[in-house]
């Protein structure tokens, strides 16, 4: 019988996890064991610190449900989510860059027509986001579904409101034959990530800003093209340089132009001042 020591525990654990029947699982778990053990040795992890970490993970699981994805938030603020996105979406520099999904996306949003209002009377300044969906050659991409969601004027997403039982500030739009699309919503504002859970508790012990700059989420999954999960950020917004989830990219920063009452991009009119943002989504074909 081989006795376990501080010197051989890592090799023994790696040997055991290498028996995973799936080769990729074996690769992942053996690497995880090595890096976890190296981390513990590097920082000389104490028993009290190990227990605090176990309790933090437990609380993170306990606060999570089908609407609150606290582990996703933890991955986001550690930069892991954005690293995984960038490693797995090495797109052409001319294509729209990808960013994180975030913890607040809800599947099954209602479908709206060109310029349909997904704000449905919620307070805020009217915003029209419009442009085209096209490929790298400049050809329009018709029938592209744009899944859109955002926070309200208090920085809260529908997923954070347990009492809401209908779609709120989220919708699906479809590009027309010429690739054009038009989203009507309200101008977003910067907001703080949830600070009432284990992730917020950890952030609160640092000088890290817990704010995100004003943005709107977009998800485009078009047959024949690389899927795209991204944001559009308001030019000049606070926290662009300190986004707590590392999601800001210069190519996604868009000017919001203030317009007087009158004709709007959907072909209608507005009786109140509104805001216009133009952006063309450029998709890359699957290889």
**pLDDT tens per residue across span 192-220:** 999 999 999 999 999 999 999 999 999 99
Q: How many residues does the chain have?
A: 287
Query: Under a CB-based contact definition with an 8 Å cutoff, are residues 233 and 214 in contact?
Result: yes
What are the residue numbers of the active site? 157, 191, 212, 215, 217
Cα separation, 71 vs 56, whole angstroms? 11
Cα separation, 231 vs 150, whole angstroms? 10
Report the pLDDT value the prediction gives residue 224, as an integer from 0 to 100: 96
β-partners of residue 218 are 148, 230
Angle between helices 80-88 and 70-77 (to 10 degrees): 80
Cα separation, 287 vs 285, whole angstroms? 6
Cα separation, 140 vs 142, whole angstroms? 6
Cα separation, 187 vs 127, whole angstroms? 5
Cα separation, 158 vs 240, whole angstroms? 23
Angle between helices 9-17 and 23-43 (to 10 degrees): 160
Whether residue 160 has pLDDT greater than 90: no
Query: Under a CB-based contact definition with an 8 Å cutoff, are residues 244 and 269 in contact?
Result: no
Cα separation, 57 vs 254, whole angstroms? 37
Query: Under a CB-based contact definition with an 8 Å cutoff, are residues 185 and 117 in contact?
Result: yes
Report the pLDDT value the prediction gives residue 226, as an integer from 0 to 100: 96
Whether residue 272 has pLDDT greater than 80: yes
Cα separation, 121 vs 123, whole angstroms? 6
pLDDT one-digit tens code per residue, 81-127 = 999 999 999 999 999 999 999 989 999 999 999 999 999 889 999 99
Report the pLDDT value the prediction gives residue 1, as an integer from 0 to 100: 65
Confidence tier at 165 by pLDDT (50, 70, 90): confident
Confidence tier at 146 by pLDDT (50, 70, 90): very high
Say how far residue 124 (Cα) sits from the centre of its chain: 22
Report the pLDDT value the prediction gives residue 87, as an integer from 0 to 100: 96
CB 20: neighbour CB atoms within 10 A? Answer: 14
The tokens describing 276, both together, are 């216009």
Please give the average per-residue pLDDT across 180-195, as a whole number: 96
Cα separation, 270 vs 283, whole angstroms? 32
Query: Under a CB-based contact definition with an 8 Å cutoff, are residues 55 and 49 in contact?
Result: no
Whether residue 163 has pLDDT greater than 80: no
- What percent of the chain clears pLDDT 90, i.e. is strictly above it? 91
pLDDT one-digit tens code per residue, 230-257 = 999 999 999 999 999 999 999 999 999 9
Report the pLDDT value the prediction gives residue 270, as an integer from 0 to 100: 93
Report the pLDDT value the prediction gives residue 173, as an integer from 0 to 100: 98
The tokens describing 160, both together, are 């954070």
Report the pLDDT value the prediction gives residue 276, as an integer from 0 to 100: 98
């Amino acid at each position: 019988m081989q006795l376990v020591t501080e010197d051989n525990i890592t090799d023994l654990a790696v040997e055991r996890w290498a028996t995973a029947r799936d080769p990729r699982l074996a690769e992942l778990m053996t690497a995880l064991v090595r890096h976890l053990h190296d981390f513990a040795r590097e920082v000389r992890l104490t028993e009290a610190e190990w227990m605090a970490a176990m309790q933090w993970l437990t609380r993170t699981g306990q606060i999570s449900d089908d609407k609150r994805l606290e582990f996703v938030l933890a991955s986001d603020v550690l930069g892991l989510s954005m690293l995984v996105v960038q490693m797995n979406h090495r797109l052409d520099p001319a294509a729209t860059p990808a960013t994180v999904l975030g913890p607040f996306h809800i599947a099954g949003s209602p479908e709206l027509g060109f310029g349909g209002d997904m704000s449905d009377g919620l307070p805020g300044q009217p915003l029209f986001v419009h442009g085209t969906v096209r490929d790298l050659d400049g050809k329009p991409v018709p029938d592209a579904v744009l899944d859109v969601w955002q926070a309200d004027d208090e920085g809260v997403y529908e997923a954070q409101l347990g009492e809401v039982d209908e779609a709120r500030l989220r919708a699906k739009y479809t590009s027309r034959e010429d690739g054009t699309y038009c989203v009507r919503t309200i101008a977003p504002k910067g907001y703080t990530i949830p600070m009432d859970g284990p992730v917020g508790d950890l952030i609160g012990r640092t000088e890290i800003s817990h704010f995100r700059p004003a943005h709107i989420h977009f998800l485009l999954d078009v047959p024949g093209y690389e899927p795209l999960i991204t944001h559009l950020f308001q030019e000049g917004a606070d926290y662009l340089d300190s986004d707590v989830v590392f999601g800001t990219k210069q190519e996604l920063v868009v000017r919001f132009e203030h317009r007087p009452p009158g004709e709007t991009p959907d072909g209608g009119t507005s009786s109140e001042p509104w805001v216009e943002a133009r952006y063309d989504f450029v998709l890359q074909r699957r290889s």
